[in-house]
Chains A and B, each alone.
Chain A
């Protein structure tokens, strides 16, 4: 079953977030955007399963302030 994991799955969320922020330290916005793009591709490859990836892409597109211009 190709299910997107949407329950809590990170043991130490604060530490993860801290590390995520730390890799962006000192980067320009363009450099950060590029890093994020690479990170998405790395994680996507790790996941592999097309059905899971499609669910994740769909969820990301759906959430947020989509009503804004």
Chain B
């Protein structure tokens, strides 16, 4: 049986564009059919924006790669129409163990908050994540949505102009050109687009190598996350063991800087290490082995005129804390509604600059968090190792020390505090749902709050009537009461008797009030869509 990553899912076929006399112009071209590019294509196509995805390959990626997908990512997938299949395939775990040297210093149960549709995160091989996105994209195209994926179409040159971007594309049947009104570069950490445009990607390279192995084990091994600091089988380094679907286990072994990368990847070197980790008598088979170094860095700006960078192409973080693919999906979530509005002429071009502002802010938060984890896991000086080890020693018996143990913090979506699109705040309402914050899910009726939002803006009203006055365009209403959903009311109204929220298409809060006020809602809507600032910002 061939594995999913061995099959062409979007094989090369000749396109009429290749025979056109002059280059055909497209609304949006996306470079890269990874998680970020595919999600962007689906989001835009669902909004009616025609989109062409170009990828140099024709299949999903090999190896587990991004393995942890956080709740916010699953919520975005719900909006994109493939949240169920992804969540069902994924592995959910809630028990973790932390080892130091030869001993288990503590174990923990994650106690996720009740009243959310999706779990805190799932473990899933990236190839499945991509497969479900490809299938969703192809289903949309089959229904007539304006979306196509062109396999084995490698972009060789880019010319950025004021009203379009010119692309030279290489295919198995030779080169051709297209034009794009907008280009979204989702071509990964080594982004050829970034290089072709001569743009900087600055930051900090950590001098470390990690060996990642996907191991197939039939044994009845517990579904837990195990993290080792300085274990006997990897002295002075760290190790991580994580369960994925299909009895595939992900192993991450820190190797240090001064190593022979090729030698470390050899099975005769890898297998004895894994035996030390799992136990001599555990039977396993290697599916994938890779060595990587990592960086924490980002582009200075993610938007360059008509070329917009998203995902790893725009920012890269260390792997601790699962902030790579998850933050890329948040980029897409933030970008696509804005781009659709600008393309439709419903918002000024300036709205796209807020993508830059908000996602640079998000990238900085992710870089900060993953840098802190890296520094705990890989102490950079003798004294930082002394403190690290002191924390671990205390954590064995002292509960207070455990929050200081940092083996990667769970990826949570960033709150756009002080974001340029944020409107009025009623500070007597709960802090977690303040303007700029991503919505907190809650049970509502037979389902969930997030599933009942409109595709565009939503006005959420709790225990207050919305007068009959006409609402701004592109806005749907959702009315509920404390009696309908006490959990929702507690999360959004707190101890107040009523609340009104204006919610963005990417499910972040724009503005909120204790009572409905048509003029205030209108003002917040104009601000959130860039219409009341467009003039001021050119």
Residues on A facing B (Cβ under 8 Å): 5-10, 13-14, 16-18, 20-21, 24, 27, 29, 32-33, 36, 59, 63-65
Q: In this complex, what residue of A is CB-closest to B409?
A: A14
Contact residue among A7, A9, A13, A24 (Cβ-Cβ distance under 8 Å from B381)? A24
Contact A63 B372 (CB under 8 A): no
Give the Cβ gap from A39 to chain B, nearest Cβ, in Å.
11
> B383 near A32 (CB under 8 angstroms)?
yes
Which of the 9-residue segments B233-241, B389-397, B495-503 touches chain A?
B389-397
Let me know if B394 and A7 touch, CB within 8 A: no
With CB as the reference atom, state the residue of chain A lying closest to B379. Answer: A21
CA distance A9 to B404 in the complex (A): 11
| A63-B397 in contact (CB<8A) | yes
Secondary structure at the A interface, as helix, strand, loop or mixed, is helix
Q: Is B384 an interface residue (CB 8 A)?
A: yes
- In the assembled complex, the CB of B391 is this many whole angstroms from the nearest CB of chain A, namely 8
Pairs of residues from A and B, 4 with the lowest C-beta to C-beta distance, nearest first: A32-B383, A64-B393, A13-B403, A24-B383
Q: Is the CB of B403 within 8 A of A59?
A: no
Q: Closest approach, in angstroms, between the C-beta of A43 and any C-beta of chain B?
A: 14
Between-chain CB contacts (< 8 Å), 19 pairs? A6-B399, A6-B400, A7-B400, A8-B400, A8-B403, A13-B404, A14-B372, A14-B406, A17-B376, A17-B387, A17-B391, A18-B375, A24-B384, A32-B382, A36-B383, A59-B398, A63-B397, A64-B394, A65-B101
Contact B399 A63 (CB under 8 A): no
Which B residues are CB-close (under 8 A) to A32? Answer: 381-383
Distance of A33 Cα from B382 Cα, bound (Å): 11
Contact at B396–A10, with CB atoms within 8 Å? no
Cα distance A22–B181 when bound, in Å?
46
Name 19 extra pairs, CB < 8 A, besides A63-B394, A63-B396.
A5-B400, A6-B398, A7-B399, A8-B403, A14-B406, A14-B409, A17-B404, A18-B372, A18-B375, A21-B375, A21-B384, A21-B387, A24-B383, A24-B384, A27-B383, A29-B383, A36-B383, A63-B397, A65-B393
> What is the minimal beta-carbon distance from A65 to any residue of chain B, in angstroms?
7
Does B123 lie at the interface of the complex (its beta carbon under 8 Å from any beta carbon of A)?
Answer: no
- Establish whether residues B403 and A10, one from each chain, have CB atoms under 8 Å apart when the complex forms: yes
* A13 nearest CB neighbor, chain B only: B403
Q: Say which residue of A10, A21, A63 sits within 8 Å of B398 (CB atoms).
A: A63
List the B side residues contacting A5 at CB < 8 Å. Answer: 400
Which of B101, B393, B397, B403 counts the most A-chain CB atoms under 10 A from its CB? B403
A64 surroundings in chain B (CB, below 8 A)? 390, 393-394
Q: How far is the CB of B409 from chain A (nearest CB, A)?
A: 7
Please state if A17 and B393 are interface contacts (CB–CB under 8 Å).
no
Is the Cβ of B372 less than 8 Å from the Cβ of A8?
no
The answer for the CA separation of A27 and B381 in the assembled complex, in Å, is 9
Specify which chain A residues have a CB less than 8 angstroms from the CB of B507 in the assembled complex: none
Closest-CB distance, B336 to chain A (whole angstroms)? 31
Which one of B382, B383, B384 has the highest number of Cβ atoms from chain A below 10 Å of its Cβ? Answer: B383
CB closest residue in chain A, given B404: A13
Shortest A6–chain B CB gap in Å is: 5
Nearest CB in chain A: distance from B127 CB, A: 32
Q: What separation, in Å, do the CA atoms of A36 and B390 have in the docked complex? A: 13
Assembly CA distance A63 to B409 (angstroms): 26
Report Cα–Cα, A33/B386, bound state, in Å.
10
* In the assembled complex, B369 has its CB within 8 A of some CB on chain A: yes
Q: Do residues B399 and A8 form an inter-chain contact, with CB atoms below 8 A?
A: yes
Bound CA–CA A32/B387 (angstroms): 11
Give min CB distance, A8 to chain B, whole Å: 5
Please indicate the chain B residues that have their CB under 8 angstroms from the CB of A9 in the complex: 400
Residue of B nearest to A5 (CB): B400
Q: Please measure, in the bound complex, the distance between the C-alpha atom of A25 and the C-alpha atom of B369, giving whole angstroms.
A: 18
- Shortest distance in angstroms between A67's beta carbon and chain B's nearest beta carbon? 11
Which residues of B are found within 8 Å of A33, using beta-carbon distances? 383
Shortest Cβ gap from B395 to chain A (Å): 9
CB contacts (< 8 Å) of B394 on chain A: these are 63-64
- Chain A residues within 8 Å of B409, by CB: 14
Please indicate the chain A residues that have their CB under 8 angstroms from the CB of B383 in the complex. Answer: 24, 27, 29, 32-33, 36
Q: Which residues of B contact A20 (CB under 8 A)?
A: 387
Neighbouring A residues of B400 by C-beta, 8 Å:
5-9
List residues of B (396-421) whose CB comes within 8 Å of A's CBs. 396-400, 403-404, 406, 409
Q: How far is the CB of B254 from chain A (nearest CB, A)?
A: 19
